[in-house]
Structure 1
């Protein structure tokens, strides 16, 4: 039995709304698209609680494993007025998990 793949949330307006001209991690100038904390390939959606603006250096740091997902979730939680656990659960729900 094969499970149906969950449909990822796609919203270009959410991505544009998440754009900032500074890195939410280090404060440096940022001119790239916001980073998906839960990757698009894993089903992470274009929602405010999954997007964080990073500069190029920090974005590379995330992909190199130098910046942890939990650190990014903490930034998003603070920005969205949520707890880190709520941010995590909302992302997992958006990805189709029953949490």
Structure 2
């Protein structure tokens, strides 16, 4: 059975910010899904990070910030460990943790 992706405009709006969480530059784009929607990444706090346009482009091209950089920043923001953020995301995507 395929796991249903978590969809929440409310959570996206809660994470949305005027500043990039990585470099601090001003931004007006929607938060980035660390685990893509296409791979089952949900609209949960632990999978969303506000990036500026340049950091967003860099992330998608495998440059800094990397997926691990983003997960570490989210862990810091949420006051939990990287491993906890990783596990929450895996569980939300339907994987056993």
Q: TM-score, normalised by structure 2?
A: 0.97
* Cα-Cα RMSD: 0.5
Deviation string 1:39-83 (CA, Å, 9 cap, x unpaired) is 000000000010000000000000010021110000000000000
Deviation, 1:20, is 0.4
Aligned length: 96
Distance in 2, Cα, partners of 1:41 & 1:57: 22
Moved over 6 A (4+): none
**Alignment counterpart, residue 48 of structure 1, candidates 22, 45, 48:** 45
Query: Residue 84 of structure 1 corresponds to which residue in structure 2?
Result: 82
Unpaired stretches in structure 2, ≥5 consecutive residues: none
Q: What is the CA–CA distance in structure 2 between the aligned matches of 1:98 and 1:61, rounded to whole Å? A: 30
Larger-Rg structure:
1
2:36 corresponds to 1:36: no
Q: How does 1:1-99 map to 2 (within 5 A)?
A: 4-66=1-63, 67-99=65-97
1:29, distance to aligned residue in structure 2 (A): 0.3
For residues 77 and 30 of structure 1, the distance between their equivalents in structure 2, rounded to whole angstroms, comes to 21
